[in-house]
Amino acid sequence: LNKPKIVVLGAGYAGLTTTKRLMQKLSPEQAEIVLVNKHNYHYESTWLHEVAAGTINPNQARVIISDVINPNKVKLVVDAVTKIDKDNQRVILENSELDYDYLVVALGFESNDFGIKGMAEHAFAIEDIDSSRVISEHIEYQFAKYNSGESVDEHSLNILVGGAGFTGIELVGELAERVPQLCKKYDIDRNKVRIINVEAAPSILPMFDKELVEYAKKSLENRGVEIKIGAPISECTEEGFIVGEDNELIKAGTIIWTGGVKGSSVLGKSGFELTKGKVNVDSDLRMSGEENIFVIGDCSWVWDHNADRPYPPTAQLAMQEADVVAANLVALLNNEPLTDFVFKSKGTVASLGHSDGIANVFNDNKLKGKAAAAMKKVVDNRSLYLIGGPKLVLKKGKFRPF
């Protein structure tokens, strides 16, 4: 008898958690499970700002997939998905093709520059390990070059970050720690380096209340970060950002765009109907109108009926969706009714470097400073625990004292 074949695309928070749950719920006799990922490793996307700033080693943020899945239960295919052909129930990979009975699309996010002129050509973006590592290497190269006798531009040490949402703020928090280390290493006066964060909205991190936002702003400014709010970036050139009504050019040797994300470009290439770069899914997390395709994590919008808008895309959301998708796949195999997804927020934490942060946790409890930073480490270590148990926490966990 032919076993049903479940194919999971992407081994991020959404795809890897789905696979782990399916491994627990299904025996190899009940279904064939295939996991497809571009690399042989999973990475903690929520740590990528640290990789980009150079405050952690990239290897700490990645986990070899075959160390955390059971090869007797899951077949791992290391290849890049180029297109999903849903009419023929096939997935086209760079080097082969796969068919499926059930599909879970969990290919994650890509940077969204909203078509801002020059952004794709001249700015770095944080998307995965490789794109983040290149940022830290580029920054270090600017410092290494500065006193080397090579001719350097007077703005070459400046670091410009576009967008002060979570990613932008967490990145400048790390840079505020990395820059003094680089100054020491390369004998450069700290005053020669500017870290500038440019935001279009009238506030940074609008999801936090005023007191926490004010705390975050002061903490960063005290450590030499310049924050420009109400300053929309209209263009990116080789030299920097063009900002605000008077078209001011802010120059820097390192330009990074953290102004937003969208779902994987594979969605569009597959002809899926998209809203702001993502697929709308029904309450059971299936693509509208499709019996056998689930789309989760940063590739989909799930409607929050209480707030009357989609849930913001987070790792927390992706992992909770994965639990429901695995349960719904088992229900489909057993001809049982599917469950609707309901998000249970555990709160929100934003780091401001290694030992500072702000947080809203456990029914609106506000934390700041070391307490929030400690909470963030707990969240990061818990994520490792869910993927690889205590062994992985001991190997890759965050235990550096404050």
Per CB under 6 A, residues contacting ligand NAD are 116, 162-168, 170, 198-201, 232-233, 258-261, 312-314, 348-350
Cβ–Cβ < 8 Å for 315, 261: no
At closest approach, how far in Å is the CB of 351 from ligand NAD?
Answer: 7
Q: Fill in the amino acid letter for 378.
A: V
315-320 own/partner pairs: CB under 8 Å, 24+ apart = 315/13, 315/45, 315/46, 315/383, 316/345, 316/346, 317/343, 318/12, 318/13, 318/14, 318/17, 318/106, 319/13, 319/14, 319/17, 319/383, 319/386, 320/344
Residue 36 interacts with ligand FAD (CB under 6 A)?
yes
3-state SS class at 366: strand
Candidate residues 21, 49, 86, 278; the one interacting with ligand FAD per rule CB under 6 A: 49
At closest approach, how far in Å is the CB of 286 from ligand FAD?
Answer: 16
Residue 357 interacts with ligand FAD (CB under 6 A)?
no
Candidate residues 162, 173, 313, 357; the one interacting with ligand FAD per rule CB under 6 A: 313
Segment lying near ligand FAD (by CB under 6 A), choices 5-13, 19-27, 200-208, 384-392: 5-13
Exposure of 342 in the CB half-sphere (CA atoms within 13 A): 4
At closest approach, how far in Å is the CB of 52 from ligand FAD?
Answer: 7
Region of 13 (left: φ > 0; alpha: ψ -120 to 50; beta: rest) is alpha
DSSP string, 190-218: GGG--EEEE-SSSSSSTTS-HHHHHHHHH
170 belongs to the catalytic site: yes
135 vs 349, beta carbon nearer ligand NAD: 349
Residue 14 interacts with ligand FAD (CB under 6 A)?
yes
Q: Percentages helix, strand, coil for the chain, rounded to the nearest 5?
A: 35, 25, 40
**Catalytic residue from among 32, 110, 170, 199:** 170
Q: If contact means CB under 5 to 8 A according to the sort of partner, which of ligand FAD, ligand NAD, none does residue 164 touch?
A: ligand NAD
What is the rounded distance in angstroms from the CA atom of residue 84 to the CA atom of residue 99?
10
Candidate residues 107, 159, 212, 242; the one interacting with ligand FAD per rule CB under 6 A: 107
At closest approach, how far in Å is the CB of 82 from ligand FAD?
Answer: 7
Segment lying near ligand FAD (by CB under 6 A), choices 26-34, 107-115, 195-203, 391-399: 107-115
What is the rounded distance in angstroms from the CA atom of residue 331 to the CA atom of residue 334?
5
Q: Which residues of the shown chain bind ligand FAD in the complex (CB under 6 A)?
A: 10-15, 36-39, 42, 45-46, 48-49, 80-81, 106-109, 126, 128, 167, 170, 264, 266, 297-298, 313-316, 318
Give catalytic residues, as residue numbers.
170
